[in-house]
Chains A and B, each alone.
Chain A
Amino acid sequence: MNLAPPLLARYAESLFWMARYLERVENLARLIEVTYIFESPGRESESWYALVRINADEESFSRRHGVADPDAIKRFYLIEADNPTSIPAAIEVARTNARVLRPLISTEMWKQLNQFHHALTAIAPAELEGDALSRLADRIRAGVQAQTGITEGTFFRDQSWHFLELGRLIERADQTTRLLDIKFHLLVPRAREEWRLVELTQWGSVLRAAAGYHAFRRIAPVEFAPADVVAFLLTDASFPRSVRLCLDEIERHLTALRIRYGLGGTRAALERAEEMRALIAGAETERLSAGGLHAFLDNLQHALIGLAGEIGTAFFRDWRPFAPEREQGFQEQRQEQAG
């Protein structure tokens, strides 16, 4: 018997998705920033196209824009709200979920998200040009971080908080695998010495995009190898964006839901998390960084989808692998204007 107030299944679902989409916005901003830094002179199109491949958007992008033009790619992710993988689309979904959650979330959370939404749906084309892009990415990242901070400081920590955190952590782990994967798509020069230097710079930038460069420097050998970076982002127990730490936290939240709120449906998800932990523990980062990393990351991404699926089927009202449709019931609600 617990006296905690009940949580509507639909709210749990919205909390999970709101957090996922916000985290997605932050990470997309990080990816854009790292791509901007990596832009190889003369081969900008190929650099930017890596972003499209990481997000598995090849088909929808070519349907819209045909050839891979850097400006088109930036617009695709930063301005085109009708592209479901764009930042404006993601913030729209996050806000729609927040709107559902207004009875539950703090006023300050809603206010911040509301203002952030207004700002992101009004990105001007000029902000995609030159170094303005870097400032824009920075602003987007800071916006989500403000949201995260306000949530930390104001959101009531009953079971709803655990569902919100689960969404955020699953998305964060997924995005870290994508950030690592960008290395797979990047271009490296052929000449040996030049290759080594470019390679190190690129790994350094991946770390910077993940906000892990300085922490990595503190614990890594002076002459670090690619395997060290891979190990750090996948298995470090203290770095907030490592897959390992995200998994630790996911298990912590699932366990809290099971013990404190008596939600036995967490069992299957906990098993999945354990499987993932074994997968990471067994990863031979040395070998992975020499080849096979892409396939390994793909495996992790699928395992995360499986984990989210177990949470969804156990607790949500109507589990779908994608965000709930925005237009659902729209017509009828317009019609019904009682009072």
Chain B
Amino acid sequence: MDMPAEDPFQGYDAGSFYCEFAAGREGDGSAAATIRSRIAALGLANLRSRARAAETDLFNLGITFTVYSEANAIDRILPFDCIPRLITAAEWTELDRGVRQRVAALNAFLEDIYHARHILKDGIVPADLVLGNANYRREMEEFPVPFGTYVHIAGIDIVRDERGAFRVLEDNARTPSGVSYVVENRHLMLRAFPDLMAGMRVAPVDDYGQRLRAALSEIAPAEVLDPQVVLLSPGIYNSAYFEHVFLAREMGVPLVEGRDLIIEDDRVFMLTTAGPRPVHTIYRRIGDDFLDPTLFRPDSLLGVPGLISAWRRGHVALANAVGTGVADDKAIYAYMPRIIRYYFGEDAILPNVETHICREPAGLQYTLDHLAELVVKPVGESGGYGITIGPRASTTELERTRAALLADPANWISQPMVGLSVGPTLCEEGIRARHLDLRPFVVTGRESWVLPGGLTRVALKRGSLIVNSSQGGGSKDTWVLTGEFQSGATAHGVMR
């Protein structure tokens, strides 16, 4: 057998960005160096062919999302990069505390705005920003939810700047997706690259389903001893259908569609072969607008007529609660550090990316003056759409953005361009630096629990900062290192 001719990391250069693979980070336990030498021993060609086989595996297993063109539905995998992203124990401690604080703040904020509205009366957040928000739900006013938890499942998007500081880029408090890839990527890693993992002490991710089911059982109506939990999906044509399947399977609960549920006397039942059976908690992966055609969009066939009334009567629990979209709006995001300080009297453990609120005159002026240096985002969009990246935009694009800003300033925020951290990624030209982000998932019933790690997305295009799957992003397995590397142990032996 030929020895690998050269170091596969030879062309890797993190440049001025923070490298997530840098050796010698505190608590790294020599993991990065070990992986690096293992990849060198494998050789690039070998790594590549195994990576290809791993991706075929994903496709055959149907671990896919669906993209629609005019006529066709095409199943695509989320491209998988086989070089893991490493998070040290110390880094994870900070992230874990930070995202739990964030979720606590989101819940406190929602409880407040749907009840006493102290934060609005005290002028911390502009009242019209909340009450005039399209995602504000009047139906939620004065309606108590168990443990004050509105956001049972949250995904907090985090980036790392040039100095290595973690910053929150976005909160996802409605129906965040991606957790299935966290678990499936780990399974794939164990199947396809057990030799890369051998001896690594990595926090397991297998118990997400159990944790989620436990939280969903906690919020069920109190008088029910053995609550029936279901997952409500828009159905097989939804692009995230695989994730719905994954979650239903991991929790061991039925995956239902709106047409499987009926309401009688404000109680929810699912239609089974043995007739209607009571349902107590619904993890819904359907947006607020589609949930109940009697209250929201009357033309929706995805939801269940009368569901909100049953919920308000306390006969069924919904996760997430209705009306959480007002808290994860990009406009509210800008106020999160102030919201955290207001409720908890402490600073945000994870700071925001510096944000200019264009509805405020100073923010608009700053944005207009520095347009070519800033990233301008519409507040209502997700998935990376509608964004102008100043340093990369043409003059025409900048002028178009300027006009849009002036036409409706309240619709925009702006942020400096963050030089996202990078990690080594297997590319056409070899192992290269590509930008990453991280979405940890937080499950909250009575208390919050954070899945160790989260979804690492990687912008596969050279120089790209957009990690969204719809725009050329892929994903990596995310390893939270829990201790020193042990030589001689197998991947499975240490995992369990």
Given A8-B254, A8-B260, A110-B62, are A338 and B274 also a contact pair (CB < 8 Å)? no
Given A103-B254, A329-B302, are A115 and B60 also a contact pair (CB < 8 Å)? yes
Query: Cβ of A9 and Cβ of B175 under 8 Å apart?
Result: no
Residues of A within 8 A of B285 (CB): 338-339
Q: Is A45 an interface residue (CB 8 A)?
A: no
- Mask of A323-339 contacts with B, CB within 8 angstroms, 1/0: 00000011011101111
User: Can you list 12 pairs linking A and B with CB atoms under 8 Å apart?
Assistant: A8-B254, A10-B271, A12-B273, A102-B242, A103-B245, A103-B255, A110-B61, A111-B62, A329-B234, A333-B302, A334-B68, A339-B174
- Which of B235, B255, B270 is the one whose CB lies under 8 Å from A333? B235
Given A100-B236, A336-B290, A339-B285, are A262 and B274 also a contact pair (CB < 8 Å)? yes
Residues of B within 8 A of A330 (CB): 237
Q: Is A107 an interface residue (CB 8 A)?
A: yes
Residues of B within 8 A of A317 (CB): 259-260, 271
Q: Is A315 an interface residue (CB 8 A)?
A: yes
Q: How far is the CA of A96 from the CA of B235 in the complex (A)?
A: 11
Q: Is B448 an interface residue (CB 8 A)?
A: no
Q: Is B241 an interface residue (CB 8 A)?
A: yes
Nearest opposing residue in chain B for A262, CB measure: B274
Given A103-B255, A111-B60, A317-B259, are A336 and B302 also a contact pair (CB < 8 Å)? yes
Q: Is B238 an interface residue (CB 8 A)?
A: yes
Q: Is A99 an interface residue (CB 8 A)?
A: yes
Query: Cβ of A107 and Cβ of B61 under 8 Å apart?
Result: yes
Q: How far is the CA of A336 from the CA of B300 in the complex (A)?
A: 10
Interface centre among A11, A12, A102 (most CB of B within 10 A): A102
Q: Is A155 an interface residue (CB 8 A)?
A: no
Query: Cβ of B62 and Cβ of A102 under 8 Å apart?
Result: yes
Q: Is B272 an interface residue (CB 8 A)?
A: yes
Q: How far is the CA of A163 from the CA of B273 in the complex (A)?
A: 10
Q: Is A263 an interface residue (CB 8 A)?
A: yes
Q: Is B249 an interface residue (CB 8 A)?
A: yes
- Mask of B220-242 contacts with A, CB within 8 angstroms, 1/0: 00000000000000111111111
Q: How far is the CA of A59 from the CA of B314 in the complex (A)?
A: 57
Interface centre among A10, A12, A107, A330 (most CB of B within 10 A): A10
CB contact list, B55-78 vs A, under 8 A: 60-62, 68
Given A99-B236, A111-B60, are A336 and B273 also a contact pair (CB < 8 Å)? no
- Mask of B379-411 contacts with A, CB within 8 angstroms, 1/0: 000100000000000000000000000000000
Residues of A within 8 A of B274 (CB): 6-7, 261-263
Q: Is B349 an interface residue (CB 8 A)?
A: no
- Which of A10, A262, A336 is the one whose CB lies under 8 Å from B260? A10
Q: Is A114 an interface residue (CB 8 A)?
A: yes
Residues of A within 8 A of B60 (CB): 111, 114-115
What DSSP secondary structure best describes chain B's contact surface? loop
Nearest opposing residue in chain A for B270, CB measure: A8
Instruction: For the complex formed, measure the closest distance between the CB of A206 and the CB atoms of chain B, giving whole angstroms.
Output: 37
Query: Cβ of B301 and Cβ of A9 under 8 Å apart?
Result: no
Q: Is B205 an interface residue (CB 8 A)?
A: no
Nearest opposing residue in chain A for B253, CB measure: A103
Q: How far is the CA of A6 from the CA of B276 in the complex (A)?
A: 10
CB contact list, A223-262 vs B, under 8 A: 257, 261-262
Q: How far is the CA of A16 from the CA of B247 in the complex (A)?
A: 24
Q: Is B282 an interface residue (CB 8 A)?
A: no
Q: Is B355 an interface residue (CB 8 A)?
A: no
Nearest opposing residue in chain B for A115, CB measure: B60
- Which of A9, A102, A333 is the one whose CB lies under 8 Å from B272? A9
Residues of B within 8 A of A339 (CB): 172, 174-177, 240, 285, 382
Q: Is A151 an interface residue (CB 8 A)?
A: no
